[in-house]
């Protein structure tokens, strides 16, 4: 058996045994640990083939075999001659330089047009500003790695140049890198930068904190937006909360690496009835509600999430978002701000949720909307600023 056939056999085994409740990169890591004979080159090839399969979305899922989908995915995702594809499908490899639209027409199963809905079946759920075709086609492109430079930009760029890493400077302090960049090995001082998608960085344009304002990042997760807030206004008095203690432990480590010491943290279930007891009588100038959501705007990074998703989950997330919003809004001062954020592209989690907030509170929309990352190798998000009357 050739190494190309071995790669296909390993990729097919992973796909058939993959547990969708586990992130694919974790599953791959466990698989390779169980197969220590596979070298780094083998792991890269097999991982790439597995991701190509999932990047195909639903296209041909009902009629193509797993090997056929891997071949089709490789044809669509690669732009230069591919040795593995040349072994199995030299006819496709010879045409790998065609446009994506031309490629889709060639690999579409008989009787199935390669329309966006064939790849991403939730097209009717998309927010109005999302270009369905552009979003569906973005699944075939590996998103980039983005960092937000906090200081020492010139020295940071010099280190990237010395390491031979291709990069693009975007705006004042954003750098785009190939997704495979081992940035921690190149820039060892983590106080110089934060790994943060450019769309997530863009949400900070809505914050506009004033000196010594009181803010609450109520679904703080790993704390990226809280760090962004503190960088915008270091004197902000900030409370960071999350439902999981382990997540807050990670946040505290990240804050320490960023040199941020002035903050409060607390484990909170924002859906519970005892929130007033936990928060007390505090009122905030600003609340960041980075709401739990489908994460559909980030599925270019985790394409396996698409195949395990069903439309009924969108309403489940919307109901959760309503419960959280209803509970945290009373803690906003009159004239204060709610920053509502999701990494979703679904209107029920985005525009419809904002409309629900307006109809059920004294908050009014000031600015914001869809952040389209699919043209830039970035996540797509939704962020709106509302002010309390």
Q: Which residues are annotated as a binding site for S-adenosyl-L-methionine?
A: 242, 269, 290
User: Strands across the sheet with 193-195, in order?
Assistant: 168-170, 174-177, 145-149, 193-195
Phi/psi for 332 (5° steps) reads -90, 130
Q: Please check whether residue 92 is in contact with residue 311, taking contact to mean a CB–CB distance below 8 angstroms.
A: no
Other C-beta atoms closer than 10 Å to the C-beta of 7 total 20
SS3 assignment, position 335: strand
Question: Whole-angstrom Cα distance, residue 73 to residue 11?
Answer: 13
**Active-site pick, 77, 218, 293, 343:** 343
The first and second tokens of residue 214, run together, are: 């009181």
Contact (Cβ atoms closer than 8 angstroms) between residue 84 and residue 74: yes
Structure tokens at 341: 């954020």
What are the backbone angles phi and psi of residue 148, rounded to the nearest 5°? -105, 120
Residue 210 CB neighbour total at 10 angstroms: 10
Report the 10 Å Cβ neighbour count for 292.
18
Burial category of 233 from C-beta neighbours within 10 Å (exposed 0-12, middle 13-18, buried 19 and up) = middle
Residue with token string 């943060």: 196
Tell me the C-alpha distance between 157 and 183, whole Å.
12
Q: For this structure, is 343 an active site residue? A: yes
Nearest-angstrom CA–CA distance, 232 and 247: 23
Residues assigned a catalytic role: 343
């Amino acid at each position: 058996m050739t190494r190309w056939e071995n790669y296909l056999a390993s990729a097919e085994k992973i796909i058939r045994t993959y547990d969708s409740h586990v992130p694919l990169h974790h599953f791959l890591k466990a698989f390779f640990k169980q197969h220590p004979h596979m070298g780094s080159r083998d792991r890269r090839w097999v991982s790439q083939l597995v991701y190509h399969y999932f990047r195909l979305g639903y296209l041909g899922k009902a009629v193509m075999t797993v090997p056929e989908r891997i071949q089709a995915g490789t044809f669509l995702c690669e732009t230069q001659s591919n040795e593995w594809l040349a072994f199995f499908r030299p006819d496709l490899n010879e045409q790998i330089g065609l446009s994506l639209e031309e490629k889709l027409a060639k690999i579409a199963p008989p009787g199935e047009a390669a329309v966006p809905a064939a790849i991403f079946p939730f097209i009717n759920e998309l927010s109005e500003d999302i270009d369905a075709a552009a979003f569906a086609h973005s699944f075939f492109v590996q998103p980039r790695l983005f960092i937000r430079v906090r200081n020492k930009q010139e020295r940071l760029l010099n280190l990237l140049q010395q390491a031979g890493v291709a990069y693009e400077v975007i705006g004042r302090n954003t750098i785009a890198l190939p997704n495979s960049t081992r940035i921690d090995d190149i820039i060892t001082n983590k106080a110089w930068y934060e790994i943060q998608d450019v769309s997530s960085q863009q949400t900070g344009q809505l914050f506009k904190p004033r000196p010594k304002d009181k803010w609450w990042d109520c679904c703080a997760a790993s704390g990226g937006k809280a760090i962004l807030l503190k960088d915008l206004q270091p004197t902000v008095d900030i409370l960071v909360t999350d439902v999981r203690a382990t997540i807050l432990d990670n946040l505290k480590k990240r804050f320490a690496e960023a040199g941020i010491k002035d903050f409060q943290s607390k484990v909170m279930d924002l859906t519970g009835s005892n929130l007033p007891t936990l928060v007390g009588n505090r009122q905030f100038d600003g609340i960041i509600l980075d709401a739990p959501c489908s994460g559909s705007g980030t599925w270019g990074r985790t394409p396996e999430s698409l195949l395990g998703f069903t439309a009924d989950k969108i309403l489940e997330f919307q109901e959760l978002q309503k419960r959280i919003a209803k509970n945290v809004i009373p803690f906003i001062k009159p004239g204060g701000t709610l920053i509502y954020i999701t990494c979703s592209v679904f209107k029920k989690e985005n525009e419809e949720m904002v409309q629900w907030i307006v109809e059920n509170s004294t908050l009014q929309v000031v600015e914001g909307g869809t952040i389209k990352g699919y043209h830039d190798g970035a996540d797509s998000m939704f962020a709106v600023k509302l002010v309390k009357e």
